[in-house]
Amino acid sequence: MERLRACLQSLEKSQSRERLQIIVVDNGSRDGSAQLESEFPNTQFSKPPKNFGLTKAMNIGWRAAEAEYVFFLHEDTEVEPDAIERLAAVLDSTTEAAGVCPLLVDEGGHPAPQLGNLPPDGQWRPAEPRDEPTTVAYPRGAALMVRAFVIKSTRQIDERYGQFGADADLAAQIRRGGRKILLVPQARVRHLPEPDDSPMLHADFLLGRAAYLSKHQGFVAGLQARLGSVLGALGGFRLGELRYLLAGQKIDGRQQ
């Protein structure tokens, strides 16, 4: 709840706040986050009847938005006051860009792990701050602004993914459409994730990677990735991870 409160407080300090529609998808939280609705009366809270998982929450959020641009944020982010205006200005002036992202920084203001590879491999590297916006292939979905029509053109963000994979898939769809994502280094967002190396999370990553490969490189590539993950978990005696892989148990809201 405290992370979400800090995120919302930073959004309230944004330049041109009166033009922003802030939507919180409270995805079955149990930490008291729902109580923040009274604390932030100008924020729209959406409360699904149960936890449907991250990807479906993203779809619920963007469909409720009444804007040309949608800025996806994780609750463990804090936005600098001018970040949103800077991002929107780049989209306004760059028609070939389908999306933009800020520079993610850590608590000390240093670039944080943000850029990944396609196909996704779970590795993240910090971006190099530059003077001008730079094309990037796959920025972390913790803070990503996208033109709404880009998502509408694909009907929705693919809900075959759990906690991991939806942002990679969206980045790949943008590239396939001949458009690009620009990193805007003058727009900064603090990203303070808590480390989590649980077997369920790692299995979710592996299942998401297999789903990505199946979709973008064919069924055989996806099957090989899935089998390789199972054999890797078995050979490493990671039995908890193996159980989730065999069950195809992505993080999609069915967990307690």
159 Cβ contact partners less than 8 Å away, ≥ 6 residues apart: 53, 55, 56, 59
- Specify if 252 maps to a domain: no
**Residues 106 and 112 sit within 8 Å (Cβ to Cβ):** yes
- Whole domain around residue 13: which residue ranges? 2-191
For 93, the 3-state DSSP assignment is helix
The verdict on 169 and 236 lying in the same domain is: no
- Reported pTM: 0.90
Count of structural domains, the chain: 2
The verdict on 105 and 152 lying in the same domain is: yes
Query: Tens-of-pLDDT digits for all 256 residues of the chain?
Result: 789 999 999 999 999 999 999 999 987 666 666 678 889 999 999 877 766 778 888 999 999 899 999 999 999 999 999 999 999 999 999 999 999 999 999 999 999 999 999 999 999 999 988 889 999 999 999 999 999 999 988 888 998 898 899 999 999 999 988 899 999 999 999 998 877 788 988 999 999 999 999 999 999 999 999 999 999 999 999 999 999 999 887 777 654 4
CATH number at residue 154: 3.90.550.10
- Specify if 225 maps to a domain: yes
The verdict on 53 and 135 lying in the same domain is: yes
- Specify if 204 maps to a domain: yes
Beta strands in the chain (DSSP E): 23-25, 44-46, 69-73, 77-79, 97-105, 113-115, 125-126, 134-136, 143-147, 180-191
